[in-house]
Every structure is written in structure tokens, then in C-alpha cells.
Chains A and B, each alone.
Chain A
Amino acid sequence: MNSAPASSPALELRGIDKRFGTVHANRRISLTIARGSIHGLIGENGAGKSTLMNIVYGFYPADAGEILVGGRRVDVGSPQDAIAAGIDMVHQHFMLVENFTVLENIVLGAEGGWQLAAGLARARARLEALARDYGLEVPLDAVVSTLPVGLQQRVEILKALHRGAEILILDEPTAVLTPQEADQLFRLLGRLRDQGKTVILVTHKLREIMAVTDRVTVMRQGSIVAEVATRDTSPRDLAEKMVGRAVLLRVEKGPARPGEVVLAARGLEVRDRRQVARLKNVSFQLRAGEIVGIAGVAGNGQSELLAALAGTLAPSRGEIELAGHELVRERLDARARRALGLAHVPEDRLHDGMIGGFAAEDNAILGYHDRAAYNRGALQDRRAITADCERKMTGYDVRPPRPRLPLASFSGGNQQKLVLAREIEAAPRVLLVGQPTRGVDIGAIEFIHRRLVALRDAGCAVLVVSVELDEILGLADRILVMAGGEVIGEVPRAEATEERLGLMMAGVRGEGAA
């Protein structure tokens, strides 16, 4: 590669095509990426970005097309070929062995000899030099599982540099980071670019594209729909190109009119199997007619909080009050809570909120199947169930509108909409929603947000847990920030800024962060 002329692009793709069964994931993609640049690749979930990058990395073979690195055609049949060609990838889910040390993880696959000791010593010297050059300090002898995610990501980057990467692909790298950690990452990417490396940033977050990239390529439904210099575009412009029509980036809503307290949590504590407290002394109130947002980096107790409120996880201490009942003391389970008007859209809907092999219409009443409207004596009223599902499918634009089809054969976004329809249409007093728009495309995000606001205006209390700060800022009337299993502080929407929430997400208390 060193012998290639300096003018040739770092990476060139010509006519890459890929199908998974009936899904046409990449349609004849041609793309050129300049050496020493940060190139953004943006698109909705399912637009084909990850597929394309996995083809470049040799993780899947392309059905057609060719890949040129430094002007020369390379055959990338496996990650090994890609690594040899100087291409490396930091995956969204880190490819680290949790109980290995940082050093062992970095040398895996490039150990430098069949005896470990000598190879590890050589790698250590080289990594220390690399870490100095790029300001990438990581403790080489620490066990990976003990490191915070931000550091684990650095390990991944260091691993790629150690293997001699010239082109570094990062797939949704900020999903697990606080805003401040993300800024650190962007500074690091800038240093890599300045040293001549080429960075491809795959993301669906417009802010990141605008903040760090030099050029940006927009994908939609497997095709490239635009390629522009970042300074010549705007978030709104990019969003429209991603979705294919004009979109609202802000949620339109009037002021909240909070009513009486409908749900109160007092001193909730949840311990995991090893008796480690995952939720520590969490107290808050939820009023009718308001949306309360819970912000935080993934894994800081939000999931446990939702599960404890919904009744799928028993708290070891504390009480939850709902509609005059003490849920913990009275041992009311998820079903009894649902009967009291507590609806729950779980974070991992595909896993916890539906049964893929069941027909859409059965999924549309799951958990509410014993309501009189769906039954005639001991038998289900199939006609009523089908009609009910048709109504929900029309109201929530679920496509295709076929109630008898197994839910697994719908796209992820449509599955989500049906689960959401089920919970919202049950007319709950309190709605718990985890990650309302995870895995949903921008068009559907708008729709889901409007539904949640409408539900609030109808007097329902809504609790939204989301790791997307933009979503919390857009939806919530009041924001609670969680870190390390605790509620670190509460911020009214009007006073919330990304910096302030970001500091609190990192564990800095409310007052100091203001």
C-alpha cells in the first residue's frame, strides 16, 4: 500500500451488491473514501450501512462488486484478508473477551509466535509507543470486564492500530458513551486523521456527523442517496435525505398540565443474583398528564427500575404505590398491575414484548387476552380479536396490515409499532416505555413521539427511559438522571442542557453540574 500513489483514495467500492434472502441489503453501492479523512456513513436502521461495512471487513461475502484499497483491487474473503489489507473495524458490540486482560485481547490473532510470553512482551513495547503517539492510554494488564465501556472502546481502537490498520471503521461508536466520552472519542478520531489514518464513522446520529466528519454519505433502503461535504449540509437536510421526505426533528407539544400523583416509588432497591445492588434507594413520583424522562448511559439501573415497576423483578427493599395499592407489600404481579392500569412497553420488545411465532393479532392482545372484549365464555372471540388488530394496524400504520401473519415476519419497526399500539390502546393510567424508538426509523420515531404526547395530553402519566439524550430532551417535561443505580438528580426540562445532563450521567451530582 505504501507504494500506491498518494493521490489514490484509501478505499473504493464498486458496485457492491448483497441480498439476505428476500432482503436486498445493498444495491450496487459505489463509494470512494479519501485518504486521511473522516467519512460519515449515515442512514436509518436497516438502510444497509452495517451490511456494507461488514462486507468491507470481510465478515460477509458480497454477491457482486469489487473493493479497492489504495487503488489496488483486493479480495476480502475474511476479516483476516481485511486486516492484511489494513482495514479494521470497531463493532457496535465490542469484540472483546471479557475475562482476558487488555494485552491478551489486543494480541489475539496476532500473537507473534506460538509461545505467548515473548509475543506479549514485544506487543507491550509496541502498544506503549502507540498509546503515546495517539494519546490512547489504557491499562494493559487490567481485565477487560473491570473497565468502563469508554476504555473498552479504546482497547478496540488500540487493537486495530496494533494490527496495522490504515482504514478504521467504527460502527455506532457512541451508543454506549456519555456525551463527554463521545467528545473525547471524536478528538481521538481527529488525531488519527491528522496522522494520516482514514476513519469511516457509521452512525444514525446527525449531531456526530456534523461534529467530526469531512464528508458524508447517506444511505436509504440499500442504496446511496447522497454524498456531500459536511460543511455544505445541515442536520435537517441530512435527515430529509435519510427518510426521503421532510421530517420534524423536534417534538411538537404544548406545556404539560400535571395532575395528581398516580405512581410513587419509595426507596426502591434491586439486587442481582450476586447480591450486588443494581438499583439503590430510588424514589420519585409520577403525575397524571406529564412525561418524565429517565436519562442515563445504558446499564446504570434503568432496566432494573422498569422491571421493578412493571412487576417482572422483585425489589429487595422499597415500595411502589399505584392507585391506592402498595404493589410490593401486596405482592401484586405484572398481571395485577396491568389490571390497575399500568402498561409497560419493555426495552427489548422483540424479546420481552412479543412472541414472534404467534400471529400479529394474538400479539396485539397479549397480556390483555382475558379482557371481556376478546372472549365469549371460555372461548376466544376470534372475530373481535382480528377486528381489534385491524384497528390497531390502521391507527399505527403497521405494514403489511395482515393480522394473521406471524409477527416475526414483520420488520422490526412494524413489530415495535404493534407492541406500542397494544399498550397505548389499553388506555393505561400509567405507561412505562423503555427505549421507545430503539430500532425504529426516523419516520416512525416522529409518529411514536406524537402518540406519547397525545397520551400525556389525555391525562396518562408516562415514564420514558431512553439512552438517546435527544429523545429525552424532546419528549420529557421533567428529567431524572440515573448513574450507578441511583437517581443522581432531577432537572426540569427548561433547565436541561446536554452538558449538564452529560455530567450527571457520568455521576456528577446535580448541584455541581449546574
Chain B
Amino acid sequence: METYTLVVLLLAATIRVATPLLLAALGGLFSERAGVIALGLEGMMLGAAFAAAAVSAASGSAWLGLGAGIGTAVLLALVIAVAGVTFRGNQVVAAMAVNIMVAGLGPSLALAWFDLGGQTPQLNDAAQRFRELVWPGAEAARHTPLPGLLYAELLSGHSVIVYLAFALVPAAAWVLYRSRFGLRLRAVGENPSAVDTAGLSVTGLRYQAVVLSGVLCGVAGAYLSTAASSGFVRDMTAGKGYLALAALVFGNWRPWRTLGACLLFAFTDALATRLQGVPLPLVGVIPVQFVLALPYVLTVLLLAGFVGRAVAPAAIGQPYEKER
């Protein structure tokens, strides 16, 4: 293949890999802006991936699967909120408990229900998965030069969830900065006392934010098991929830910058996949383990180098208690 085609395919892969990251990161953004640490993204996403695949397999409808995924992630979000907001427990512990519980519970339930070694059945039927939407004229455009291939690979040919994820970026920015809800959300993450004395409910706002992060993680999880692949397998999120959290921090808790960070992480991931077994000039073939570690090495470097300048919401991680 010529270089140009390679680059376009790499970018198309970037978009597909970025989608679940972006959904989870935007969800985490609402949660963290409200002052609740979003360490539970991983667990919520994994739980949703399992529920979506299981329900889709049983019912034959990807949309019912999506609903189940969202429902499961919201339920897990509520667990975190009850422990971390209502009972003022340690948010990190609550979120990690959810992550660990889901990591074990998903495969166990899959084993009990489907008896396939901890997986859900393959989703082979068209209605069980979110298919790529092919835009008009995309097939024809594929064989024309430059703009045609871009149209066919980058704009066309993604599932509906991909378009939703990218459309959510401006929407999230609008909600955060232009709506009453966004103002209150940002306030409660900075100074909950100010929100309380303004006659607003700190608990209520934080619940809304955490549930919203659950909804978005639900979509992200459903994407993983019913769009990007055909079924649930053990640990299929593989740290994407933590990567999303890193992207959100690297994006300075702002929607557009978070999009940039997600694309960057996704690009290195797509690149790593492409680089497997490919000889490079000077160094030759890099062992596959090193290549696959690339996105995570990048995460560490970026966060170590840039996060010093990022300013987290002031009240993050602190349960709110009225002063006496």
C-alpha cells in the first residue's frame, strides 16, 4: 500500500479507538468538575460492555444491549455516589471497589449464563451489533484520489456511536460553560460551600454529575462489545478507563482539550498496532511488547511533564460536610 493510504487508514483507526476513550473521558469530566474523582470509569465501562453484549445476545437487539449497558453503568455510578457522596466515604476506594468487583463479576456471570469460558456468545446477527454506516457514494469515492478516500474512510464507515461521541464534545462544552447546570456543576467542584449557601443541593448536583458519567461510560462500554468487536471478553477495557482519566487530566478538565488528548492517545494506540512486526529504519523490528506499551509510556511522559500545570477542580475528592 502506498504511504497515503496507510496514513488515512491510520487516522480512521485513530477515530475508532478514540471513541470509547472520548465517551468515558467526557463522562469523567462531568464527574470530576463536580468534585467526584472519576476513577470508576474503568469499572463502569467494563460492566456496560458485559451487560450490552449479554442483553444483545439474548434479545437480538443492539439497542436493547445499549440500554442495558447504560443501565448497568448508571447502577455502578450510583454505588460510587452512595458511598462517596451520601456517606462521604473515600471516593478512590469506592471507585476501585467497583472496578475490582466488575472485573470479577462480568466473567463469572458470563460463565454461569453462557458457559463459554467467561465470554458472551459471538454477536453474529446484524441486528445484534452496531454496524458501520456507509455514507452515500462512499464506495465509489474510495477509488477516486485524495478527497475521496478521506471521505470514505474518515467521514463514512463508522457506527452511530462514533458520530455521537464526537458530537458530544461541543455539546459538553456548551453545557459546561453556557448552561445553568454547567455553572452549578463547576461551582460545586470548586467550592461546595458556596453552592450550599446559595441554596442549592451539593449532594443533588454531585449525583447528577456521577449519573451522567455513568450514562456516557455505558455508551462507551456498549461500543466496545457491540460495535468495535462482537461480544464481551474478560478485561476487554484493558485500562481504557484509566487512559480516559489520564486524557481528561491532560486535557485540563476541558472538553476540546480532552478531545485532543483522546485523539493523541488513540493515535499512538493505532500506530502501535500498525508497527507490530514492521521493520523500522536504524532499529529494525521492535519487539511487540514494546510497541504495545507505547501508549502507556506516552501517558506517563505526558502526565509527568504537563500535569504540573493543570489545575484540578479545587474540591475534588473531598466529601462535603457543613462546617460547624
**Residue A89 CB within 8 A of the other chain:** yes
The residue in A81, A104, A105, A108 that gathers the most chain B C-beta atoms within 10 A of its C-beta is A108
**Residue B180 CB within 8 A of the other chain:** yes
**Residue A5 CB within 8 A of the other chain:** no
**Residues of chain A in range 70-123 having any CB-CB distance to chain B below 8 Å:** 78-83, 89, 91, 93, 95-100, 104-105, 107-111, 113-117, 119
A109 touches B190 (CB 8 A): no
A contact residues, total (Cβ < 8 Å): 32
B contact residues, total (Cβ < 8 Å): 23
The residue in A57, A82, A83, A100 that gathers the most chain B C-beta atoms within 10 A of its C-beta is A100
- Interface-facing stretch out of B39-47, B82-90, B196-204, B220-228: B196-204
Query: Residue on B with the closest CB to A82?
Result: B199
What is the minimal beta-carbon distance from B323 to any residue of chain A, in angstroms? Answer: 8
Query: Please, what's the 1-or-0 string for B177-201, where 1 marks a CB less than 8 Å from any CB in chain A?
Result: 1111111101100110111111110
Q: Which residues of B contact A97 (CB under 8 A)?
A: 186-187, 190-191, 194
What is the minimal beta-carbon distance from B196 to any residue of chain A, in angstroms? Answer: 7
What is the minimal beta-carbon distance from B205 to any residue of chain A, in angstroms? Answer: 11
Contact of B191 among A60, A98, A109, A119 (CB under 8 A): A98
B191 touches A78 (CB 8 A): no
18 A-B pairs whose Cβ atoms sit less than 8 Å apart in the complex: A59-B322, A60-B322, A79-B196, A79-B199, A93-B193, A95-B196, A95-B197, A95-B198, A97-B190, A97-B191, A98-B314, A99-B190, A108-B194, A109-B199, A111-B180, A114-B179, A115-B178, A116-B180
CA distance A80 to B204 in the complex (A): 14
Q: In terms of DSSP, what is the predominant structure of the interface of chain B?
A: helix
Q: Which residues of A contact B187 (CB under 8 A)?
A: 97, 100, 108
**Residue B324 CB within 8 A of the other chain:** yes
Query: Residue on B with the closest CB to A91?
Result: B197
Q: Which residues of B contact A80 (CB under 8 A)?
A: 199-200
Query: Please, what's the 1-or-0 string for A304-335, where 1 marks a CB less than 8 Å from any CB in chain B?
Result: 00000000000000000000000000000000
Task: List 17 extra interface pairs beyond A59-B197, A105-B194, A119-B180, CB under 8 A.
Answer: A60-B322, A79-B197, A80-B199, A80-B200, A81-B199, A83-B199, A91-B193, A91-B197, A95-B193, A96-B191, A100-B183, A100-B187, A104-B183, A108-B184, A108-B194, A109-B195, A111-B183
Contact of A108 among B177, B195, B322 (CB under 8 A): B195
A115 touches B314 (CB 8 A): no
**Residues of chain B in range 287-324 having any CB-CB distance to chain A below 8 Å:** 314, 322, 324
B198 touches A79 (CB 8 A): yes
What is the minimal beta-carbon distance from B307 to any residue of chain A, in angstroms? Answer: 14
Query: Please, what's the 1-or-0 string for A397-436, where 1 marks a CB less than 8 Å from any CB in chain B?
Result: 0000000000000000000000000000000000000000
What is the minimal beta-carbon distance from A367 to any residue of chain B, in angstroms? Answer: 29
Query: Residue on B with the closest CB to A92?
Result: B323
